Chains A and B, each alone.
Chain A
Amino acid sequence: MRGARHARWAACAAAAALAATACGGGGGSGGDTSAVLSSSWGDPQNPLEPANTNEVQGGKVLDMIFRGLKKYDPETGEAQNMLAEKIETSDSQNFTITVKDGWTFSNGEKVTAQSFVDAWNYGASLKNNQRNAYFFAYIDGYDKTHPESGGQSADTLSGLKVTGPRTFTVKLSQKFSTFPDTLGYPAFAPLPRAFFDDHDAWVQKPVGNGPYMVDNYARGSQMSLRTWEEYPGPDKAQNGGVDLKVYTDNNTAYTDLMAGNLDLVDDVPAAQLKNVKNDLGDRYINTPAGIIQTLAFPFYDNDWSKPGSEKVRKGLSMAIDRKQITDTIFQQTRTPATDWTSPVLGEDGGYQAGLCGEACEYKPDEAKKLISEGGGLPGGQVKITYNADTGSHGQWVDAVCNSINNALDNDRACAGNPVGTFADFRNQITDRKMSGPFRAGWQMDYPLIQNFLQPLYYTNASSNDGKWSSQKFDDLVDKANAETDTPKAVGLFQQAEEVLRDEMGAIPLWYQNGSAGYSDRLSNVQLNPFSVPVYNEIKVG
Chain B
Amino acid sequence: MPEQQPYEPERAIAGTGMGGQMDLGASEAVTLEKTPGGPEGTGPQDKPRSLWSDAWHDLRRNPVFIISALVILFLIVISIWPSLIASGSPLKCDLAKAQEGSQSGHPFGFNGQGCDVYTRTVYGARTSVAVGVLATLGVAVLGSVLGGLAGFFGGAGDAVLSRITDVFFAIPVVLGGLVLLSVITSNTVWPVIGFIVLLGWPQISRIARGSVITAKQNDYVQAARALGASNSRLLLRHIAPNAIAPVIVVATIALGTYISLEATLSFLGVGLKPPSVSWGIDISAAAPYVRNAPHALLWPSGALAITVLAFIMLGDAVRDALDPKLR
- A residues sitting closer than 8 Å to B (CB atoms) are 251, 269-272, 274-275, 321, 324-325, 328-329, 387-389, 392, 394-395, 398-399, 401-403, 405-406, 411-412, 415-421, 424
A389 and B268 contact, CB distance less than 8 A: yes
Contacts of B222 in A (CB 8 A): none
A419 and B182 contact, CB distance less than 8 A: yes
- B residues sitting closer than 8 Å to A (CB atoms) are 89, 91-96, 98, 112-115, 177-178, 181-182, 267-270, 273-275, 285, 288-289, 291-292
Complex partner residue of A420 from B94, B269, B292, CB under 8 angstroms: B269
Measured CB to CB, the nearest residue on chain B to A402 is: B93
Measured CB to CB, the nearest residue on chain B to A386 is: B269
Given known A412-B275, A415-B274, contact A399–B288 (CB-CB < 8 A): no
For this complex, 14 residue pairs linking A to B, each with C-beta atoms less than 8 Å apart, are: A275-B292, A329-B95, A387-B269, A388-B267, A388-B269, A395-B285, A402-B113, A402-B114, A403-B95, A405-B91, A412-B91, A412-B275, A420-B270, A421-B178
CA gap between A415 and B114 in the complex, in Å: 16
Complex partner residue of A388 from B93, B98, B115, B268, CB under 8 angstroms: B268
B288 and A411 contact, CB distance less than 8 A: no
Q: How far is the CB of A410 from chain B (nearest CB, A)?
A: 10
Contacts of B285 in A (CB 8 A): 394-395
B91 and A399 contact, CB distance less than 8 A: no
A271 and B94 contact, CB distance less than 8 A: no
Q: How far is the CB of B295 from chain A (nearest CB, A)?
A: 15
B95 and A418 contact, CB distance less than 8 A: no
CA gap between A30 and B268 in the complex, in Å: 44
CA gap between A420 and B174 in the complex, in Å: 10
B96 and A324 contact, CB distance less than 8 A: yes
B268 and A416 contact, CB distance less than 8 A: no
Q: How far is the CB of A71 from chain B (nearest CB, A)?
A: 37
Q: How far is the CB of B278 from chain A (nearest CB, A)?
A: 14
Contacts A392-B288, A398-B274 known; 10 new A-B pairs at CB < 8 A? A270-B288, A324-B96, A395-B112, A395-B285, A405-B93, A416-B273, A416-B274, A419-B269, A420-B178, A420-B269
Measured CB to CB, the nearest residue on chain A to B98 is: A328
Given known A324-B96, A387-B269, A419-B269, contact A424–B274 (CB-CB < 8 A): no
Complex partner residue of B95 from A275, A321, A420, A421, CB under 8 angstroms: A321
CA gap between A370 and B94 in the complex, in Å: 23
Measured CB to CB, the nearest residue on chain B to A324 is: B95
B112 and A389 contact, CB distance less than 8 A: no
Contacts of B112 in A (CB 8 A): 329, 395
Contacts of A395 in B (CB 8 A): 112-113, 285
Q: How far is the CB of B121 from chain A (nearest CB, A)?
A: 17
A274 and B292 contact, CB distance less than 8 A: yes
Q: How far is the CB of A183 from chain B (nearest CB, A)?
A: 39
A415 and B273 contact, CB distance less than 8 A: yes
Q: How far is the CB of B300 from chain A (nearest CB, A)?
A: 16
Q: How far is the CB of B83 from chain A (nearest CB, A)?
A: 14
Q: How far is the CB of A35 from chain B (nearest CB, A)?
A: 31
Measured CB to CB, the nearest residue on chain B to A251 is: B288
CA gap between A403 and B285 in the complex, in Å: 18
B113 and A271 contact, CB distance less than 8 A: no
Contacts of A321 in B (CB 8 A): 95
Complex partner residue of B274 from A269, A275, A401, A419, CB under 8 angstroms: A401
CA gap between A56 and B125 in the complex, in Å: 42
Given known A402-B113, A402-B114, contact A411–B92 (CB-CB < 8 A): yes
CA gap between A319 and B95 in the complex, in Å: 14
Contacts of B268 in A (CB 8 A): 388-389, 420
B273 and A418 contact, CB distance less than 8 A: yes
Q: How far is the CB of B249 from chain A (nearest CB, A)?
A: 33
Contacts of A269 in B (CB 8 A): 288
Complex partner residue of A415 from B94, B182, B269, B275, CB under 8 angstroms: B275
Measured CB to CB, the nearest residue on chain A to B271 is: A418
Given known A328-B95, A328-B98, contact A417–B273 (CB-CB < 8 A): yes
Q: How far is the CB of B273 from chain A (nearest CB, A)?
A: 6
Interface centre among B92, B94, B178, B274 (most CB of A within 10 A): B274
A-B pairs, top 7 by smallest CB distance, nearest first, are: A388-B269, A418-B269, A271-B288, A411-B91, A402-B93, A420-B178, A415-B274
Contacts of B177 in A (CB 8 A): 420
CA gap between A406 and B181 in the complex, in Å: 30
B89 and A411 contact, CB distance less than 8 A: yes
A271 and B273 contact, CB distance less than 8 A: no
CA gap between A328 and B292 in the complex, in Å: 13
Q: How far is the CB of A406 from chain B (nearest CB, A)?
A: 7
Contacts of B291 in A (CB 8 A): 272, 275
Contacts of A392 in B (CB 8 A): 288
Contacts of B89 in A (CB 8 A): 411
Contacts of A328 in B (CB 8 A): 95-96, 98, 114
Contacts of B269 in A (CB 8 A): 387-389, 394, 418-420
CA gap between A51 and B23 in the complex, in Å: 77
CA gap between A251 and B93 in the complex, in Å: 27
